[in-house]
Amino acid sequence: MDSTKRSTRRKFLAGAASTTLGFTFVPSSVLARPAPSDRLNLGHIGIGGRGRRFLRPLAQLDEKVVPWENLGGQGDRFLRPALSVALCDVDSSRLDMAATVVGGKPRLYKDFRRLLEQKDIDAVVIASPDHWHALMTIMACQAGKDVYVEKPAAKTVEEGRAMVTAAERYGRVVQVGSQGRSQDPAYHAKRYINNGGIGTVRKVLCWHYENPRGDWTPDAAPPTRLDYDKWIGPARSIPYNETRTHGRFRWMLDFGGGQIRDRGAHVMSVAQWIMDADDTGPVSVEAEGEPHHGGIYDSPQHMKVTYEFKNPDWTLVWAQPGVPSEEIEAQYGAVYWGDDGRHLTVTYGDRHTTDTEQKAKDFKTPYGGVEVFRSPGHFENFEDCIKSRKKPIMHIESAHRVSTLCILGNISYRLRRKLEWDPVNERVRNDDEANRLLSRPGRGPWHL
């Protein structure tokens, strides 16, 4: 078993843990600690910047907790008692830190496969780099675990479809971390638009600031704390460089895919939800972009992608950069344009930063109007669905469709041509070269 354990632990300090994780603690009345059978046992794969925020320390079992993810949401609620019982990361320093935060004696691993073998784990939280999401999710489903996986869902279209198949075949709940759908402003916007607030939507313009360029930090030997071969996993092997690992992999097309895959998985997730397009896709994709003129990152500095949808007919645009109005101060978001000239703006589109116009917030659903599901919070919705076995608000099919938008945008940019997309068969029409980019060869033992 490839696991790492420390014989000693620094003393767990609840105050320090709350500062590190950003949780708000509200003292509860005196309650008995839940029995293991009443508790949700969590395993965590990837415990860096994002992964830390999902940890459930031992000290929380007797607390009423409002997670950082949902501050500014719909208020306090008692969560199902949960505990982080197993932790996995290929960086031993992150593993030690997380163990200290969790307290008690969590099991520690550097190989996620060993974590998935543990029968007492109910669900896993996957916050690994993007190129690992698909394989880890599929193997977790095969192991009988429900899954909360960070966005974007997959690196390729083939991987995304395999994730959907695995969730369905093994009857697992899979929630993808595009949290914007679980924020009140997105709910208000969807309710307003779906009830005809701006007429029939014909165009959605998403905007975002440009990709970073990076510097020319030279390649080097990986630090001893990091198992770099496991970090690379199924991706193409390249020398270690600190500027393209741990969070900064996002700006490399092989590992991340730039802002369109990072924040696009938030902004376009809200758009797909509002437009009721979770089970379909565009019929054409056309990208234009400007590469960096210097710097280590190969994602395009400037980029515009136009997606055309049919039945109903509407256009989705990703503009990077492309602030639609000088009056809008938000760095990213989307404007929804109705066929009669009216519009609605949803700024940001992830976490508690999401906002929309007051007219949507004040709108009341009329008698006989369209009712819209209101999420209690993204991770809370996941926990609710573990119990009910219903599909979560960002279920894997919807997340796969959103990640496909991001993937096709990058493929069109790389090939410098328009793609005619078949959203049913998920193939590019009459373009073998483009279709080869819908999948990738695995490396070493890591294959779908």
pLDDT recorded at residue 80: 65
pLDDT recorded at residue 402: 98
What residue ranges do the domains of the chain occupy?
14-180, 182-369+396-436
In whole angstroms, give the CA distance from residue 140 to residue 312: 36
Mean pLDDT over the full length of the chain: 88
pLDDT recorded at residue 71: 35
> Treating both helix axes as pointing N-terminal to C-terminal, what angle do 92-102 and 14-21 enclose, rounded to 10 degrees?
120
Cis peptide before 152 (omega within 30 of 0): yes
- Kindly tell me if the per-residue pLDDT of 6 is higher than 60: no
Q: Is 228 exposed, middle or buried (0-12, 13-18, 19+ CB in 10 A)?
A: middle
pLDDT recorded at residue 65: 47
- Kindly tell me if the per-residue pLDDT of 95 is higher than 80: yes
pLDDT recorded at residue 63: 56
- Residue 361 φ/ψ region, left for φ over 0, alpha for ψ in the -120 to 50 degree band, beta for the rest: alpha
pLDDT tier at 62, thresholds 50, 70, 90: low
Domain 14-180 has CATH 3.40.50.720: yes
Handedness of CA 121, 127, 129, 130 (dihedral sign): positive
pLDDT recorded at residue 253: 85
Closest Cα to residue 399, out of 378, 421, 383?
378
pLDDT recorded at residue 27: 33
pLDDT recorded at residue 37: 60
- The mean pLDDT value for 415-431 works out to 98
pTM > 0.85: yes or no: yes
Angle at 175 between CA 230 and CA 402, to 5 degrees: 85
pLDDT recorded at residue 365: 96
Share of the chain above pLDDT 90, in %: 72
pLDDT in tens, 368-410: 999 999 999 999 999 999 999 999 999 999 999 999 999 999 9
Alpha carbon distances (Å) from 330 to 184, 324, 325, 429, 448: 17, 10, 10, 37, 39
- Kindly tell me if the per-residue pLDDT of 22 is higher than 90: no
CA 259 to chain centre: 13
In whole angstroms, give the CA distance from residue 104 to residue 95: 14
pLDDT recorded at residue 351: 80
pLDDT recorded at residue 88: 98
Do β-strands 284-290 and 302-309 pair in parallel, antiparallel, or remain unpaired? Answer: antiparallel
- Residue 75 φ/ψ region, left for φ over 0, alpha for ψ in the -120 to 50 degree band, beta for the rest: left
Tokens of 87: 């932790």
**Which of 19-33, 143-157, 282-296 is predicted with the least confidence, judged by mean pLDDT?**
19-33
Q: In this structure, which topology does domain 182-369+396-436 adopt according to CATH? A: Dihydrodipicolinate Reductase; domain 2 (3.30.360)
pLDDT in tens, 141-161: 999 999 999 999 999 999 999
Which residues are within 8 A (CB) of 406 and not within 5 positions of it... i.e. 6 or more apart? Answer: 152, 257, 260, 261, 264, 265, 268
- Kindly tell me if the per-residue pLDDT of 345 is higher than 80: yes
3 state SS of 393: coil
